[in-house]
Amino acid sequence: MTALLTILVLVFILVAIWQMVKIFDLAQAKVENSQIATDNDNRINGYLMISFLAFIYIITIVSFVKWGDLPLLSNSASEHGPQIDNLMIISLTIIFIVQTVTQFLLHYFAFKYKGEKGRKALFFADNNKLETIWTIIPVIVLAGLIIYGLSTWINIMGVDESDDPLVVELYAQQFNWKARYAGEDNTLGKANVRLIDFDRANILGLDEADPNAQDDVITTELHLPVGKPVLFKMRSQDVLHSAYMPHFRAQMNCVPGMITQFGFTPTVTTAEMRLTPEMTDKVVNINNIRVEKSKELIANGEPALDRYEFDYLLLCNKICGKSHYNMQMKIIVETQEEYNAWMKEQKVFKNSLIN
Amino acid sequence: MSAHEDTHAHEDHGHHHKETFVTKYIFSQDHKMIARQYLITGTIMGVIGVFMSMMFRIQLAWPEKPNVLFEAFLGKWAPNGVMDADIYLALVTIHGTIMVFFVLTAGLSGTFSNLLIPLQIGARDMASGFLNMVSYWLFFLSSVIMVISLFVQAGPAAAGWTVYPPLSALPMAQGGSGMGMTLWLVSMAIFIASSLLGSLNYIVTVINLRTKGMSMTRLPLTIWAFFVTAIIGVISFPVLLSAALLLIMDRSFGTSFFLSDIFIQGEVLHYQGGSPVLFEHLFWFLGHPEVYIVLLPALGITSEVIATNSRKPIFGYRAMVASILAIAFLSTIVWGHHMFVSGMNPFLGSVFTFTTLLIAIPSAVKAFNYITTLWKGNLQMNPAMLFSIGLVSTFITGGLTGIILGDSALDINVHDTYFVVAHFHLVMGISALYGMFAGIYHWFPRMFGRMLNKNLGYIHFWVTAICAYGVFFPMHFIGMAGLPRRYYTNSNFPLFDDLANVNVIITLFALVGGVFQLVFLWNFFSSMFYGKKAEQNPWRSNTLEWTAPVEHIHGNWPGEIPHVYRWSYDYSKPGHDEDFVPQNIPLKEGEEELQH
Ligand code: HEM
Ligand SMILES: [Cu+2]
Ligand SMILES: [Cu+2]
């Protein structure tokens, strides 16, 4: 309904504008019926150019102030997170400066040199010095960014087997996630979707004969001990999915027929994250929004929304079909003791099979 | 300007033959008519594409709310007027496909390469008028098939415009991957054939049919851009064709190029040994060059429009040509930046980061050169000029965020989020659209012999400019907050509840911007018939197309084809009374041609 109203209003505005243009045209008709810009047009559009520059600056400032408190720029919860965040802040700063300056020059020149009858432009076709300068400057800046970026990338993607990471499989299917822990031996059992056997509750297609598979643990929540490196092995049973864990600055596609990997070390437990001032503010804000929305829902006789409490999430970030928008798994980062206690309650693979 | 009026005798040059309605308006082989056919077909597809984006924007702002528009247009896909999740993905997919290929590849290149290549290089027509006609009709056929695919029983293709398998290969994975995807693939295969015929024709024409004196270094930058675009197209489109054919084989003939080890809906499929990553490589080997196929013609048009309306030579002609060539070359070796987190070897990722960030250099040179061209100009703020300045602005804003996305380390966290949507819409979508509008406003007099209404043009530009930033600028921020793209609604993640109002703002801008395109359509179609009659060279421009008579004739020039004595950018050259010197005016005694 709102949308329809908006559209109606728009149509009326359009009609009004059309009328205005007609009047404008008629008023000008006697002077000249030229469809080529006159000095007057040049002046008006010159001023509009400067106003547009102001608009770009304002929308930039408003966006940063209102929506700039991004989980991406602070609050990372993994060891490599701050490296990405630093690189992001440096890149954003460079972009911000270049954007501000070049947009200024562009719009200011458009305003300053707006055409006038009788004036002649400067015949200025080439200047090697200038062009060398603005080839060299980007080269230097980019060289810096490339070096910094690549060292960060190699650092993140390189898996160091020597610090004995906890091996966990992330298993994707339309439209949910499973996690498989490698168990006591920290080695995942062999698996293939061809071995899936629902009758025996072998839902991930583990090789029942593989000794490494016996102690594997399959769960629907991802628990991680804080401070311990984790190496994720990604698998998909049907289409492409992507395991996206924005708080940990982590993402890797899940590809059927292939095992992909990504490793990181979580540094902040869920409980600690909930207590950070940024997060408490954010949660309060979100709950206020939810309360408002609930009022509307209750008025329509629908159930109210639950209170929101912060949790880390694993989202699917590669289009995978109808319910792509709702393919998520909760991630809980906890102390080693809590993790051990939780793990103890889980059934190992060999005991979860139905005979 | 009468000083430079073409003085050729207006005699028949023997190129005329009797034309029937069919050969003149339908199966025409005249490049000017074919250009108009491309433009009008592209415009119709554009209306469909933009309308789709307005519908899914409404869903994103007011998720799962009934809407009369949905009820009216989506039928069974909107039970009780609520948009279905499947059709959301289909709308996004077809929107992307139509905008990228049908509007900004065929609509843009098809229109302006066809119109301008013969006219600006001084040729009577394209090298092969027949192939040119076949190219248009293949494009028309592929458009019709794409539109028909919207009406199939199980829904149109919905796997994203990138159609990654297995999603696109398996009808049980998604309704749209049945008949809808078959038609999508057939339509694209025909589209590619059309594009190849067109491109080959453009290349041959530029190489062989330049008039006397039109050396490569005297070519207007428009022609350079169209020429290089055609070359990129010939190199990369066949790879997409092969990807499409292999996908058709996997879908219909049981091969396993892209599929392996799949368990879906309770059964194991027979596929073994293929890899979806292979498809990604093939797709992006076209996909990335494609963004330059879309963008370079727009930049070429902008070069011409900015120089003419600044009454100044384009700054750094040689650097502009060099950067077009550099961009074209680099564009074929950066495709992997779409695949940093695809499971590809991280070392390859490093290589692609390196090549990708290199592209920023020629792009920066182009942006600086445009800005310098404005400096100390005498700017004529015609609507085409406004759109060209707008293009430079969005090209910078959108291009800069490429530095983030091209950096593999940073891409980990913004890959496939709304940050990407913001980036590519600004740098490719909006920029190229502005280029297309600039071209239409500038060459409308040449195409239709009449002028567009400038006041409507001003309104069109300013509202579009504000809305474009209003829509796409905030998207960077919801993307950086971690919001994935291609989500039917965000309300299943309370985490993103504080972004809901941003989505409403974006949608309002999108609706206003979309509706205001009607101003353009009105202007376009009414001026075609009732616009003020155009003079021969309304913008006082140097290029050859303005020496041909306003009325279209077969063969372009009634007498001899004009010869060329100088480059096309002698604006405000000292020693001349007028502030422009067309290319067909011989050098004065003692006048030096610029050493470029
Ligand atoms: C009226 C202006 C436009 C609006 C409001 C708009 C809006 C959008 C939005 C919001 C999406 C992302 C939806 C999602 O990921 O869930 C999208 C996707 C897309 N748009 Fe646009 N768009 C517009 C014009 C254009 C133009 C001019 C192009 C030309 C390049 C374009 C090309 C694309 C492509 C390629 C996609 C990706 C489709 C996919 O994810 O498969 N759009 N558009
Ligand atoms: Cu998924
Ligand atoms: Cu790319």
Q: With contact defined as beta carbons under 8 Å apart, do B125 and B33 qualify?
A: no
Across the beta sheet with A222-225, what order do the strands follow?
Answer: A222-225, A328-334, A312-316, A241-245, A250-254
In ligand 1, which atom is closest to the CA atom of B50? 1
Domain boundaries, chain B: 2-259+269-547
How remote is the CA of residue B77 from the centroid of ligand 1, in Å? 20
Helix (H) or strand (E) segment spanning residue B182: helix B179-208
Query: Do residue A329 and residue A209 come from a single domain?
Result: yes
Structural domain contains residue A52: yes
What type of residue is A261?
Answer: Q
Kindly indicate the confidence band of residue A74, based on its pLDDT and cuts at 50, 70 and 90.
low
Query: Do residue A219 and residue A324 come from a single domain?
Result: yes
How remote is the CA of residue A164 from the centroid of ligand 1, in Å? 44
Residue B25 DSSP class: I
Contact A63 B69 (CB under 8 A): no
Over residues A317-331, the pLDDT tens digits come to 999 999 999 999 999
Picking from A176, A237, A254, A253, the residue whose alpha carbon sits closest to that of residue A202 is A237
Kindly indicate the confidence band of residue B514, based on its pLDDT and cuts at 50, 70 and 90.
very high
Contact B313 A124 (CB under 8 A): yes
Pocket of ligand 1 (CB under 6 A): B 50, 53, 57, 92-93, 95-96, 99-100, 104, 160-161, 421, 425, 428-429, 433, 471, 485-487, 510, 513-514
pLDDT at B106 over 70: yes
Residues 101-160 of chain A whose Cβ lies under 8 A from any Cβ of chain B: 102-103, 105-107, 109-110, 113-116, 119-127, 130-131, 134-135, 138-139, 142, 145-146, 149-150, 152-154, 156-158
Cα→Cα distances A195→A35, A198, A201, B584, Å: 73, 10, 11, 76
Q: With contact defined as beta carbons under 8 Å apart, do B466 and A55 qualify?
A: yes
Cα→Cα distances B110→B35, B106, B135, Å: 6, 5, 9
Helix (H) or strand (E) segment spanning residue A241: strand A241-245
Cα→Cα distances A317→A243, B160, B280, B409, Å: 7, 13, 16, 17
Kindly indicate the confidence band of residue B3, based on its pLDDT and cuts at 50, 70 and 90.
very low
What average pLDDT does this structure show over B50-56?
Answer: 95
Structural domain contains residue A17: no
pLDDT of residue B8: 39
Given the structure tokens 């999108």, which residue do they identify?
B510
In ligand 1, which atom is closest to the CA atom of B510? 5
pLDDT at B491 over 80: yes
pLDDT of residue B466: 96
pLDDT at A99 over 50: yes
What average pLDDT does this structure show over A78-95?
Answer: 93
Query: A160-173: buried (b, 16+ CB within 10 Å) or exposed (e) per residue?
Result: eeeeebbbbbbbbb
How remote is the CA of residue A318 from the centroid of ligand 2, in Å? 6
Query: How far is residue B452's CA from residue A40's CA, in Å, rounded to a whole number?
Result: 18
Query: Do residue A147 and residue A166 come from a single domain?
Result: no
Helix (H) or strand (E) segment spanning residue A262: strand A260-264
Over residues B332-382, the pLDDT tens digits come to 999 999 999 999 999 999 999 999 999 999 999 999 999 999 999 999 999
pLDDT of residue B32: 92
Q: With contact defined as beta carbons under 8 Å apart, do A308 and A199 qualify?
A: no
Report the gap between the CA of B362 and the closest CA in chain A (Å): 8
Structural domain contains residue A47: yes
Query: Do residue A46 and residue A112 come from a single domain?
Result: yes
Query: Do residue A320 and residue A205 come from a single domain?
Result: yes
Question: Which ligand sits closest to the CA of B406?
Answer: 3
Contact A68 B371 (CB under 8 A): no
Q: At B337, phi and psi to the nearest 5?
A: -70, -10
pLDDT of residue B4: 40
Residue B594 DSSP class: P
Q: At A7, phi and psi to the nearest 5?
A: -65, -40
Over residues B436-455, the pLDDT tens digits come to 999 999 999 999 999 999 99
Contact A244 B353 (CB under 8 A): no
Query: How far is residue A148's CA from residue B570's CA, in Å, rounded to a whole number?
Result: 45
Residues 562-581 of chain B whose Cβ lies under 8 A from any Cβ of chain A: 569, 571-574, 579
Query: Do residue A182 and residue A106 come from a single domain?
Result: no
Closest residue to atom 38 of ligand 1, CA basis: B96
pLDDT at A353 over 90: no
Bridge-based pairing of strands A222-225 and A328-334 is: parallel
Task: Centre a 10 Å sphere on the Cβ of residue B7 and count the other Cβ atoms it contains.
Answer: 7
Q: Which CATH number fits the domain that encloses residue A342?
A: 2.60.40.420
Structural domain contains residue A15: no
Query: Do residue A200 and residue A222 come from a single domain?
Result: yes
To test the pocket of ligand 1, the residue of B284, B421, B430 to mutate (highest count of ligand atoms within 8 Å of its CB) is: B421
Structural domain contains residue A342: yes
CATH fold of B2-259+269-547 reads Cytochrome C Oxidase; Chain A (1.20.210)
Could you list which residues have their CB under 5 Å from ion ligand 2? A 241, 316, 320, 327
SS3 call for A225: strand
Structural domain contains residue A28: no
Kindly indicate the confidence band of residue B13, based on its pLDDT and cuts at 50, 70 and 90.
very low
Question: Could you say which of A135, A153, A237 has the minimum Cβ distance to residue B361?
Answer: A135
Query: How far is residue B205's CA from residue B447's CA, in Å, rounded to a whole number?
Result: 20
Task: Centre a 10 Å sphere on the Cβ of residue A116 and count the other Cβ atoms it contains.
Answer: 11
pLDDT of residue B435: 97
Q: With contact defined as beta carbons under 8 Å apart, do B517 and B464 qualify?
A: yes
Q: Give a three-class secondary structure readout of A55-97.
A: HHHHHHHHHHHHHCCCCCCCCCCECCHHHHHHHHHHHHHHHHH
Given the structure tokens 């979806």, which residue do they identify?
B276
- List beta partners, residue A202: A197
Closest residue to atom 26 of ligand 1, CA basis: B429
pLDDT of residue B9: 37
For residue B373 the two structure tokens come to 């061209």
Residue A211 forms contact with B (CB below 8 Å): no
Given the structure tokens 């007027």, which residue do they identify?
B81
Over residues A243-283, the pLDDT tens digits come to 999 999 999 999 999 999 999 999 999 999 999 988 898 89
Structural domain contains residue A344: yes
Q: At B408, phi and psi to the nearest 5?
A: -50, -40
Question: Which ligand sits closest to the CA of A242?
Answer: 2
Please give the span between the terminal C-alpha atoms of chain A, in angstroms, as a whole number.
57
In ligand 1, which atom is closest to the CA atom of B488? 16
> What is the number of structural domains in chain A?
2
Query: Do residue A174 and residue A311 come from a single domain?
Result: yes
Residues 6+ away with beta carbon under 8 Å from B195: B105, B106, B135, B139, B233, B237
How remote is the CA of residue A254 from the centroid of ligand 2, in Å? 9
Query: Do residue A254 and residue A109 come from a single domain?
Result: no
Kindly indicate the confidence band of residue A28, based on its pLDDT and cuts at 50, 70 and 90.
low
Residue B468 forms contact with A (CB below 8 Å): no
**Chain A residues with beta carbon closer than 8 angstroms to that of B392:** 106
Closest residue to atom 4 of ligand 1, CA basis: B53
Residues 279-318 of chain A whose Cβ lies under 8 A from any Cβ of chain B: 282, 285-286, 289-290, 305-306, 308, 310, 313, 315-318
Query: How far is residue A354's CA from residue B173's CA, in Å, rounded to a whole number?
Result: 29
Query: Do residue A182 and residue A140 come from a single domain?
Result: no
Task: Centre a 10 Å sphere on the Cβ of residue A182 and count the other Cβ atoms it contains.
Answer: 20
DSSP notation for A197-211 = BGGGTBTT-B-TT-G
Query: Do residue A153 and residue A172 come from a single domain?
Result: no
Query: How far is residue B133's CA from residue B31's CA, in Å, rounded to a whole number?
Result: 8
Structural domain contains residue A9: no
Over residues A231-248, the pLDDT tens digits come to 999 999 999 999 999 999
Q: What's the pTM value of the predicted model, to 2 decimals?
A: 0.93
**Chain B residues with beta carbon closer than 8 angstroms to that of A109:** 371, 374-375, 377
Which of A118-132, B119-133, B278-292, B314-328 has the weakest average pLDDT?
A118-132
Query: How far is residue B294's CA from residue B236's CA, in Å, rounded to a whole number?
Result: 13
In chain B, pLDDT over 70 holds for what percent of residues? 96
Closest residue to atom 13 of ligand 1, CA basis: B486
A-chain residue closest to B362, CA distance: A135
What average pLDDT does this structure show over B176-187?
Answer: 95
Range of the domain at A172: 162-272+307-352
What average pLDDT does this structure show over B167-174?
Answer: 94
Query: Do residue A97 and residue A178 come from a single domain?
Result: no
Q: With contact defined as beta carbons under 8 Å apart, do B74 and B87 qualify?
A: yes
